[in-house]
Amino acid sequence: MPAKRQLSCFVIAKNEGDRIERCLKSLHGWVDQLIVLDSGSTDGTVGIAKKYADEVIETDWPGYGVQRNRALTYCKHDWVLNIDADEEVTPALRDEIVAVLSSEHLSANFIKCPWHTVFLGSVLKHGRYSTPQGKLFLKHGAKFKEASVHESLILEKEQVLVLKSPLLHYSWRNYKHAIDKHVQYAVLSAKDKFSRGKKASLGYACLRFFTDFLQQYVLRGGFLDGRAGLMMAIILAQYGFHKYAALWAMNREGSAGE
- Express each pLDDT in 122-141 by its tens digit: 999 898 888 899 999 999 98
Per-residue confidence (pLDDT) for residue 156, from 0 to 100: 84
Phi, psi of 54 (to 5 degrees): -75, -35
Q: Are 243 and 250 in contact (CB under 8 A)?
A: no
pLDDT for 27: 98
Looking at residues 111-119, what average pLDDT do you find? 93
Q: pLDDT tens across 75-88, in order?
A: 999 999 999 999 99
From the list 202, 122, 203, the residue with the least C-alpha distance to 168 is: 122
Rounded Cα distance between 139 and 131, Å, is: 23
> pLDDT by residue (tens digit) across 166-218?
999 998 989 999 999 999 999 999 999 999 999 999 999 999 999 999 999 99
Share of the chain above pLDDT 70, in %: 97
Q: What mean pLDDT is reported for the chain?
A: 93
Would you state the pLDDT for residue 130? 86
Distance of alpha carbon 122 from alpha carbon 224, whole angstroms? 12
With cut-offs at 50, 70 and 90, classify the pLDDT of residue 148: low
Share of the chain above pLDDT 90, in %: 84
- What is the pTM assigned to this prediction? 0.84
Q: Model confidence at 149, in pLDDT bands (50, 70, 90)?
A: low
Contact 112, 132 (CB under 8 A): yes
> What are the residues whose beta carbons fall under 8 Å from the beta carbon of 105, sequence distance 6 or more?
none
